[in-house]
Amino acid sequence: MSTPSSDPKLPVIVIGAGPIGLAAAAHLVTRGLRPLVLEAGAFAGAAIREWGHVSLFSPWGFNTDAAARALLEPRGWVAPDPERVPTGAELVREYIQPLAAAPEISPHIRYGARVVGVGRRGIDKTRTVGRERHPLLVRVETSGGIEEVEAAAIIDASGTWSTPNPLGASGYPAAGEAVCAPWLVGALPDVLGRDRARFAGRSTLVVGLGHSAANTLLALVELAESVPGTEIFWAIRGHSPHRLYGGGDADELPARGALGTRLRAAVDSGRITLLRDFAIHSLGATPAGRVKVKAGGSTEIVVDAIAAATGFRPDLDMLREVRLDLDPVVEAPARLAPLIDPNHHSCGTVEPHGAEILAQPETGVYIVGMKSYGRAPTFLLATGYEQVRSVVAAIAGDHEAAARVELILPESGVCCVAPGVPEARVTVGFPTGLEHGFAGEVARG
């Protein structure tokens, strides 16, 4: 099991000030260790702030960390109703912001600090002899230029938000995808709010077979009910959408089951045009200011906007100079991959796990949170909190606590959906479950 540098003066660097990174910081300070949280954004939870209109599947009872609560509660913070399902904005406002502002945590966060490289001082990846005598080194890009910071250990909780999967059917961007960026609206557009004008009375193609696609599609259906001329197309690479339709009334999470039921009804009624076996090969602008999307053979469609809900992948370039053992399929830690490979698993089948599973060949380096799941879309916030509890225990030398499992998940898992289904608007889910899913016949991020 990895242990940190023997130099007690060095901080444990946490990459990312999202919920998992801040939980890691809370565990570190609780154990008397000094964190340094490096956040690329200007605020804690910067990625979540970009989709504050969305709702989670999981209720508050699964969305906060025990060590974080222990820091907050003595200062008057009251945990939200454990049965209530928050939006992304509520998660930031009611939990992430207070945690980032806690006096034990806030002095240790640097904003506007983007990590661009991780390695060891004075040697590259190929050097083996005496390797661990060289301290871990993090290269950081800030407004003032490039800095290098030494670390006792590194916890990479940077997520995958900044590296979405492309539209191309083969894993690479489709021909013309970069040029047609003005027509791409991202995975989580605010269809009924901030971005409404982009979709009202226009034609939109949604690509993907996960919950993000489903929620965007249903938001567009709601928009089309009040704005004539709003057209909705849904493209999947495979033939059947039934995996996303789910178990309906039999689903152990009612909101999730209702999501699939409503989507199926919208397709069956013709409000959504389903394009099966639609593997995108190229994009191109038209003289009329629209975008033409071509799939296999002569299949093509012309629309005004494309929502690419095709999932995300980890940014591994920043870790190029450390030694990693990653699965070749999902790009997750090799020992974790068999538990999460979406070709075989769905949310609720991933066992709680910690430092032993996440430790890398590079001593003192751990990948946690959504990034630890690589291209798999089944991550749970509660699972991430258990990861960092165990990892921090290992860094502190408490291997008994690191090996202990302190998380029990419900049999059905905790996947993401909006509250109030079917009465309330269904919005896109937070990445605590099958957020984006597969854009083909099997779950694929």
The tens digit of pLDDT for each residue in 39-81 reads: 999 999 999 998 899 888 788 999 999 999 999 999 999 999 9
- For tokens 């060095």, the residue is 10
Is 97 in contact with 72 (CB distance < 8 Å)? no
Residue 189 has pLDDT above 80, yes or no: yes
Which of 106-110, 166-170, 244-248 ranks highest by mean pLDDT? 106-110
Mean pLDDT of the chain: 87
Token pair belonging to 251: 């689903």
The encoded tokens of residue 321 equal 């100079």
Q: Give residue 41's Cα distance to chain centre.
A: 16
Closest CA to 301 of 165, 210, 203, 214: 203
Residue linked to tokens 């993401």: 416
pLDDT for 401 beyond 70: yes
208 within 8 A of 233, measured Cβ to Cβ: no
* Radius of gyration for the alpha carbons in the chain, expressed in angstroms and rounded: 22
Query: pLDDT digit string (tens) for 353-387?
Result: 999 999 999 999 999 999 999 998 778 899 999 99
Q: What is the pLDDT of residue 435?
A: 38
DSSP state of 143: T
Question: How many whole angstroms separate alpha carbon 66 and alpha carbon 425?
Answer: 31
The helix/strand/coil state of 304 is: coil
Q: In what order do the strands lie in the sheet with 114-120?
A: 114-120, 136-142, 145-151
Convert the pLDDT of each residue in 199-211 to its tens digit: 999 999 999 988 8
Residues 6+ apart with CB under 8 A from 219: 191, 192, 425, 426, 427, 428
Q: How confident is residue 247, by pLDDT bands cut at 50, 70 and 90?
A: low
- Tell me which residue of 55, 438, 423 sits closest to 216, measured CA to CA: 55
Helix and strand tally (H, E) in the chain? 13, 15
The pLDDT value given to residue 309: 93
Residue 53 CA to residue 59 CA, distance in Å, equals: 16
pLDDT of residue 349: 55
CA–CA distances in Å: residue 301 to residues 136, 168, 212, 215, 402: 50, 15, 22, 22, 53
Average pLDDT for residues 150-166, to the nearest whole number?
Answer: 96
The pLDDT of residue 250 is above 90? no
Tell me whether strands 136-142 and 114-120 are parallel, antiparallel or unpaired.
antiparallel
Confidence class for position 127, pLDDT limits 50, 70, 90: very high
Helix axis angle, 19-30 relative to 381-395, nearest 10°? 30
What is the largest distance, in Å, between two alpha-carbon atoms of the chain? 69
The token pair that represents 235 in the structure block: 């493209």
